[in-house]
A = this chain, B = another copy of it.
Amino acid sequence: MKTGVALLGCGTVGAAVAQMLLNEKEHLLRRTGQSLELRRVLVRDIHKRRDGIPKSLLTAAPADIWRDESIHVVVELIGGLEPAQSLIFEALAAGKRVVTANKHLLATHGTKIFQAAARAGSCVGFEASCGGAIPIVMALTRGLIANDIDRLIGIVNGTCNYILTQMNAGNQTYVQALAGAQAAGFAEADPAMDVSGMDSAHKLAVLAALAFGIDVPAEKIDVTGIDSLQDTDLRYGRELGYACKLLAIAEKFQNGISLRVHPAFLPVRHLLANVNGSFNAIDVYGHASGQTIYYGRGAGGRPTAGAVIADIVDAATGTAELLFRHSPLLTRRRKATLLPTRKILCRQYLRMNALDRPGVMHRITGVLGRNGISLAAVAQHESRAGDYVPLVVMTHAARDGAVDRAVAQIDRLACVRGRTARIRVMDPGA
């Protein structure tokens, strides 16, 4: 039996999915045992030329898809909240199985959508929503299912990782690295969703919900982007043996779960520190498995299309439906107690511009000490110009809120100019 497929949207990923379905049919049948047939592509403008996609497949009317009984699987690749959400509900109501790559929508309304799918006896495949080609959704919902997940750390935004890879290598400011990423096609003209950390937060919401079986309020994820990072700090960090990465972190503690996105220093020996360019990787600690890591391309037309087609196959065989019938991680999620980031313990890198005078180091370390922060290393660098010198401090594990307070106090000292730069350190086994 043939499985009829319709695409909603025909951007980079949509076009790649269409081309694979149209041009690699024999290959896909040989690998999957499924005969997949692209039957419709929903677009806004059916007159716009789309390479390799026959005009007869294009439609601007969703109803053409809903009422076509030869279409079994609907793939939403529009992105954003609306009209994507309404179209998914309409597809489910029309008896279709759904596949989506929409992390923003799933981060915001995932549980509701999954429950609607389960009630309809249907399913929503969403492998492509996080980590592109990396089968991380499958790892969390199936491969690691016997595990209590203790911690998940992801590099889940290729744009940010590309920029930080350039900055870590030295000699590029954030602005230069961003421009380079845009020129190389790794960053959009408006990179705000990426560099602000919001895209990573959406993916973290999707992944943490699976890791812990919880309903994650995405808006409560603590997010810091990479847009205020200074190349100076990445250079000092490198000298100390660290690489800076934008990490999406979900961690289980006795008194709650911490969900946060922020730049962090990783020891250069950590495998995640060696994930470079636009690649993504997700590090997952299970109580039985121990550490596992999943690495691959986090974006791009064909890598993501491969994940979308894997989901179409699971929808076609009924595998996805079984998952939605059985898995509590999707439809019977618990409420989570979130732990504010200020309660997290971690080492921190701090850099102040301090007046080059006797007693200044003493005053700064005094503030840190009064806030219960002890120092692992201090280095005063030579001044490039003027009376102010960069003072770099690496703390021992300290309560994040205590560092907030100390930094605020330091920034009010007369002997310090500008704001203290601060980057958390993620220790491998911690």
Contact = CB atoms under 8 A, between A and B. Distances in A.
Interface in A290-318: 290-297, 300, 302-303, 305-307, 309-310, 313-314, 317-318
Contacts of A144: 135, 306, 310
Number of identical protomers:
2
Which 3 residue pairs are nearest across A and B when measured between Cβ atoms? A135-B143, A292-B296, A146-B309
A135 B134 contact: no
B135 A326 contact: no
Given A31-B213, A274-B274, A297-B289, A146 B305 contact: yes
A323 interface: yes
Contact of A31 (B146, B292, B318): B146
Contacts of A286: 133, 306
A52 to B, nearest CB: 16
B142 A310 contact: yes
A288 B314 contact: no
Contacts of A290: 133, 296-297, 300, 302-303
B271 A146 contact: no
Contacts of A314: 142
Contact of A294 (B147, B294, B302, B326): B294
A173 interface: no
Nearest to A313: B145
A36 to B, nearest CB: 9
Contact of A306 (B213, B288, B296, B302): B288
A175 B209 CA distance: 48
Contacts of A31: 145-148, 213, 328-329
Contacts of A145: 31-32, 309-310, 313
A296 B305 contact: no
B148 A127 contact: no
A34 interface: yes
A33 interface: yes
A146 B308 CA distance: 9
Contacts of A288: 16, 20, 133, 302-303, 305-306
Contact of A328 (B30, B146, B318, B322): B30
A117 B286 CA distance: 31
A295 B296 contact: no
Contacts of A318: 322
A146 B306 contact: yes
Contact of A313 (B28, B146, B303, B309): B146
A352 B30 CA distance: 48
A301 to B, nearest CB: 9
Contact of A146 (B28, B142, B294, B322): B28
Interface of A: 16, 20, 27-28, 30-34, 127, 133-135, 138-139, 142-148, 213, 269, 271, 274-275, 279, 281, 286, 288-297, 300, 302-303, 305-307, 309-310, 313-314, 317-319, 322-323, 325-329, 332
A144 B213 CA distance: 25
Contacts of A16: 288
Given A134-B292, A213-B30, A295-B295, A143 B310 contact: yes
A314 B319 CA distance: 10
A302 B281 CA distance: 24
Given A271-B295, A288-B302, 16 more contacts: A30-B328, A31-B328, A32-B146, A34-B326, A135-B139, A142-B313, A143-B307, A144-B306, A271-B271, A288-B306, A289-B303, A290-B300, A292-B296, A294-B295, A295-B295, A317-B326
Nearest to A270: B274
A276 to B, nearest CB: 9
A165 to B, nearest CB: 12
22 contacts: A28-B146, A30-B213, A31-B146, A31-B329, A33-B328, A127-B143, A133-B290, A135-B143, A138-B138, A143-B307, A144-B306, A144-B310, A145-B313, A146-B305, A146-B310, A274-B274, A288-B302, A289-B296, A289-B297, A289-B307, A290-B303, A293-B294
Nearest to A271: B274
